Structure 1
């Protein structure tokens, strides 16, 4: 039975006019006597450049790598002794309780800690000498290769001996409503508790907790093996490709400042986007074929890349170009339900309904759970909304331009591999959003058809007449 929640005018306006966007990251540790693994998803505005900086051992300081968006404000890092450090932002600052007997530390802690400390105990001893005046709006997880870890804010330190711990973006010492639930934290616990720590399990947990919205997405991820001194690095919430960094070997090459993107194959979507600024679609497709034939090693030619490019073109109002790119993708991946449904979406926007419906039917035969088939490829106004994964969510509500302030927002039904909600709607165009655990607003992460509203996006829905 579908439960309902009364949605006030305020909530409707929140969705459609001035919606809160929570930036997020997820850090978790899983350890036993054989392995100490830490996972980290760093989430922020898509397109933001990310970096990996390395500092070789010198002048009595340990060697370490650190990562983030700006060198002056790094997010975290790991040193040669297996000490890990990363921060999770808080939505609101916690006023700092200053100790007048201590000096203020008015800088980021990442490099001082990693360059001076081997263990969690050493790091805490160093940190406790100061008032952390820059640490009012973040909590830090530090961990070492023994499996010891701690959560640090300017006002408190939390120690735990549990083999699994997950940190997200709410204050652990702050009072929360009795109904509060962080779906990313609970997903991590559901996947990791009572399981031996493995790289594959950590990767699955990163994948399940990654953000995929157009205005807030996971830009890079790591699995840090603290005992072995190895970092498994991923980017753009793509966990099919990784760069494995042996820290000892990496640091032996000296101090470097490296864009994370440069460690991976070049994005053909980014390359084509730039090329199409000054060339027509025929020239662009020819350029794509030339690169694929002559430089396939340097570029990422996965199905996801041209799919991404196609939706970028739709967002730019270049529907004809998008159709050509989706055609090219389908030619390269003829058995892909995603390639078929994305081309169908473009035909739908072009009012080529017979072509669209034919492709939706083909996609449904390959994958009956294809999200676009449920949203755009059905008849009679019956729409199927799906959310893949998110096992740690307590409940997910559907709220959109079809939700009247006096009506009820419907909740998804939880299934084995995700969530589902079926709804009958009159013909028309709509926008919608998901509200997770009555706290987190979320664009439909699997629907790349959307409409931009100021600095954020609402998911798009088109319901046709029979």
Structure 2
């Protein structure tokens, strides 16, 4: 199973956050209109949208991101928007004295109405992410936030982008094109911004997965899938938030496209996504039982099935945690300090994930490091559901043999056992 589980191994070894490969993002405020727009460029399809109604502690918002449920781009009910572009900052060489213990931009999205309010938080905490974030509000203000400091907008537009290296070659005129088009015109409307997105979209090893134009004053978003700028899905945030919290697949809002379907079906996560869709159609437990039966055959139809089932288990945990944290990412997965403060709650998705983890970890031919990783995940799931004694047993098993344990599992498992021994959860 481990040979076909490259994506999880990469996540385990890097535990990085906000790793969108290359994007073109800009804000523009002129003629009484205020917009933000972005091309989201990456190698992984299956983009999610999730809606987070307001709570007593947070403003309502909509988020876009990959299946790992990290926020790639978001807008809140007051028209505050942000989006990330990857960057190559060496954080170890920067004098970051007070990094935020969780997701700093997520905190800003939930607590701030505009850039001015966000600056209060940004002056208190360091932006400790190897990325650049453009933050814009409906009043026409925008800034680009980096680990080295904040870049304020000087005119009526601001561009945040990067140049990606593919096979050792630097090839990128996207920021220049966006700047040239914005500087040479006084237009500021959907068609003009869409033309910029079209001119700066990518195809090939990296693809523009989706493009978005945010009307920050009206609270609406025009979304285009897989660089098809003739088909639009429009979101009215106020209306959508009234429908309650939910996670959706972005592609479900668009008609079938041969180009997107071909791209998706050739991706390593396609089997996992197919199983998740079957869970929606036929029920979670029925689907899990079917695929466990298939897995137990000497020659299952798909040799990557067990890897996909592990990915499904992790996705169920991410979905569950996202909902109980009002849309936030699973900080524990990314080894963020706040992630070790595990809240306890009941959710059938966690039970389903635990059943899959127990089945997969019991298989005799499972790689020891991967088995210990699954023990760690079972420890987390049991702790989240209040099964403290079982959680401790799984965490102990996960780090019993350090030489056969991923570094990240060893680190997280050791930290969680210390907290369990201290009686953090009784």
* Band the TM-score falls in, shorter-chain normalisation: 0.5 to 0.7
8 Å CA contact 2:48, 2:69 repeated in 1: no
Alignment partner, residue 113 of structure 1 = 108
8 Å CA contact 1:91, 1:169 repeated in 2: no
Alignment partner, residue 446 of structure 1 = none
8 Å CA contact 1:212, 1:218 repeated in 2: yes
Whole-angstrom CA distance in 2 between matches of 1:271 and 1:105: 39
Cα-to-partner distance string for 1:105-132 (whole Å, 9 max, x where unaligned): 1333332111110000111211222233
8 Å CA contact 1:98, 1:131 repeated in 2: no
Whole-angstrom CA distance in 2 between matches of 1:169 and 1:274: 25
Q: What TM-score, normalized by structure 2, do the two folds share?
A: 0.52
1:157 aligns to 2:147 (yes or no): no
2:203 corresponds, among 201, 212, 215, to: 212
1:129 corresponds, among 101, 118, 124, to: 124
Alignment partner, residue 132 of structure 2 = 139
CA-CA distance at 1:31 after TM superposition: 1.2
1:82 aligns to 2:73 (yes or no): no
CA-CA distance at 1:154 after TM superposition: 2.2
8 Å CA contact 2:89, 2:147 repeated in 1: no
* Aligned-partner SS, 2:196: helix
Structure 2: 5+ residue runs without aligned partners?
A: 1-19, 165-169, 266-426
Cα distance change, pair 197–94 in 1 and its aligned pair in 2 (3 A): farther
Whole-angstrom CA distance in 2 between matches of 1:27 and 1:62: 23
Alignment partner, residue 66 of structure 2 = 69
8 Å CA contact 1:140, 1:153 repeated in 2: yes
2:228 corresponds, among 219, 234, 238, to: 238
Cα distance change, pair 35–59 in 1 and its aligned pair in 2 (3 A): same
Alignment partner, residue 27 of structure 2 = 29
CA-CA distance at 1:26 after TM superposition: 0.3
Alignment partner, residue 260 of structure 1 = 250
1:196 aligns to 2:193 (yes or no): no
Cα distance change, pair 219–207 in 1 and its aligned pair in 2 (3 A): same
8 Å CA contact 1:26, 1:40 repeated in 2: yes
Alignment partner, residue 3 of structure 1 = none
Whole-angstrom CA distance in 2 between matches of 1:167 and 1:273: 27
Alignment partner, residue 340 of structure 1 = none
Bigger share in helix = 2
* Aligned-partner SS, 1:67: strand
8 Å CA contact 1:187, 1:208 repeated in 2: yes
Alignment partner, residue 219 of structure 2 = 229
CA-CA distance at 1:195 after TM superposition: 1.7
Alignment partner, residue 161 of structure 2 = 168
Cα-to-partner distance string for 1:34-80 (whole Å, 9 max, x where unaligned): 101111001011x5211111100112311001111145422120000
* Aligned-partner SS, 1:40: strand
8 Å CA contact 2:163, 2:171 repeated in 1: no
Alignment partner, residue 299 of structure 2 = none
Whole-angstrom CA distance in 1 between matches of 2:264 and 2:234: 29
Q: What TM-score, normalized by structure 1, do the two folds share?
A: 0.48
8 Å CA contact 2:226, 2:260 repeated in 1: no
Alignment partner, residue 44 of structure 1 = 42
* Aligned-partner SS, 1:131: coil
* Aligned-partner SS, 2:24: strand
Cα-to-partner distance string for 1:180-211 (whole Å, 9 max, x where unaligned): 99511111122222322110000000000000
The number of equivalent residue pairs is 241
* Aligned-partner SS, 1:228: coil
8 Å CA contact 2:100, 2:126 repeated in 1: yes
* Aligned-partner SS, 2:229: strand
Q: CA RMSD in A?
A: 2.8
Whole-angstrom CA distance in 2 between matches of 1:274 and 1:238: 15
Whole-angstrom CA distance in 2 between matches of 1:56 and 1:274: 30
Q: Report which of the two structures shows the higher radius of gyration computed on alpha carbons.
A: 1
